[in-house]
C-alpha cells in the first residue's frame, strides 16, 4: 500500500480547512453591509485563517514527528516536508501562483549550485526559497486574491510580507540561516527595493540569486491580467536590468544556465516554458 507523504497530508489538511473557511467566512462577510466594517472584517478573516492553519500545521507536524524515526536524517526530512506543506498551503490560498513555489525553488537551487554552493548552504537556500512568500499568509484575502490593480493601501499591505515572514519564523533556530531569502528577495541591486533599501553586496547572496529566479518565473507565467512572456524576452529584461534591479554576476550566470538548458532541450529559449 502506497503511503501518502507528510507534505501531501499537510497540503490536504490545508485544502480542506481552506475550503471550509472560505465557505463559512464568505457567508459571514456577505451579511455585512457597512463598507468600513467590511474592511475590518476582511482583516480579521485573514488573521483568523493564519491562526487556524497554524494550529492545524502544529497538530499535523507533531503527529508526523512523533511517528518518525528518531534520527537526524528523519527529523530533517520531516521539517522539510512540513515546510513544503506550508508552502503548498499558500499556493492553495493564493491560487494565481499555481506551482510557483516548486518551480522557483528548483531553479534557485540549480543556480546556486553553479556558484559552488553545497551542503548546508544549499539546504538553507532551498528552505528560504520554499518559504519566500510565507508572509503573505498574514495578508487579507481581499488583497491577496484581488485580480485588478491594487490601490496604495493594498500595495502597502503586500509590501509588508517580507517583514511578516520574519516575524512569523523568527526564533525557529532551524530556519535562521534561511530567513534572508523571505526577508530580502525584494531588495534591488541599486538600493531602490524594499523593505530595507539594501544596495549591492549588502543584499545577502541567496536573496540576490532568488530575486532573479522569482522575477523570471513571474514574467514567464500566465497571469489574469497578461499573457506570459517568452523566455527570450524575459532574459532580455534581465540583461537590461543588470546592475539596476539585479546583481550583474547573478544575471550573467542565470542567462548562461538558461542558454545551456535551451541547448539540451530543457527549454525553448525562443518560446515559453
Nearest to 130 by CA among 56, 57, 206: 206
Which of 45, 136, 159, 244 is catalytic? The answer is 136
Among this protein's residues, is 159 annotated catalytic?
Answer: no
Contact 12, 90 (CB under 8 A): no
For the annotated catalytic residues, the residue numbers are: 136
Amino acid at each position: 500500500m502506497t503511503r501518502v507523504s507528510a507534505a501531501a497530508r499537510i497540503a490536504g489538511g490545508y485544502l480542506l480547512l481552506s475550503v471550509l473557511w472560505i465557505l463559512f467566512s464568505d457567508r459571514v462577510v456577505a451579511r455585512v453591509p457597512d463598507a468600513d466594517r467590511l474592511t475590518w472584517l476582511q482583516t480579521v478573516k485573514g488573521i483568523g485563517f493564519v491562526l487556524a492553519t497554524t494550529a492545524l500545521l502544529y497538530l499535523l507536524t507533531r503527529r508526523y514527528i512523533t511517528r518518525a524515526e528518531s534520527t537526524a536524517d528523519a527529523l530533517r526530512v520531516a521539517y522539510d516536508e512540513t515546510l513544503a506543506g506550508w508552502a503548498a498551503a499558500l499556493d492553495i490560498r493564493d491560487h494565481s501562483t499555481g506551482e510557483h513555489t516548486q518551480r522557483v525553488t528548483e531553479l534557485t537551487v540549480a543556480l546556486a549550485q553553479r556558484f559552488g554552493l553545497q551542503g548546508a548552504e544549499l539546504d538553507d537556500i532551498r528552505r528560504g526559497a520554499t518559504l519566500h512568500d510565507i508572509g503573505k499568509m498574514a495578508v487579507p484575502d481581499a488583497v491577496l486574491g484581488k485580480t485588478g490593480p491594487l490601490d496604495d493601501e493594498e500595495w502597502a499591505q503586500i509590501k509588508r510580507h517580507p517583514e511578516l515572514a520574519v516575524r512569523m519564523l523568527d526564533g525557529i533556530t532551524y530556519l535562521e540561516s534561511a530567513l534572508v531569502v523571505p526577508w530580502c528577495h525584494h531588495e534591488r541591486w541599486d538600493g531602490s527595493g524594499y523593505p530595507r533599501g539594501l544596495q549591492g553586496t549588502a543584499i545577502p547572496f541567496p536573496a540576490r540569486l532568488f530575486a532573479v529566479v522569482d522575477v523570471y518565473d513571474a514574467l514567464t507565467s500566465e497571469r489574469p491580467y497578461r499573457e506570459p512572456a517568452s523566455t527570450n524576452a524575459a532574459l532580455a529584461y534581465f540583461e537590461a536590468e543588470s546592475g539596476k534591479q539585479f546583481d550583474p554576476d547573478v544575471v550573467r550566470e542565470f542567462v548562461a544556465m538558461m542558454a545551456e538548458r535551451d541547448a539540451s532541450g530543457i527549454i525553448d529559449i525562443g518560446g515559453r516554458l
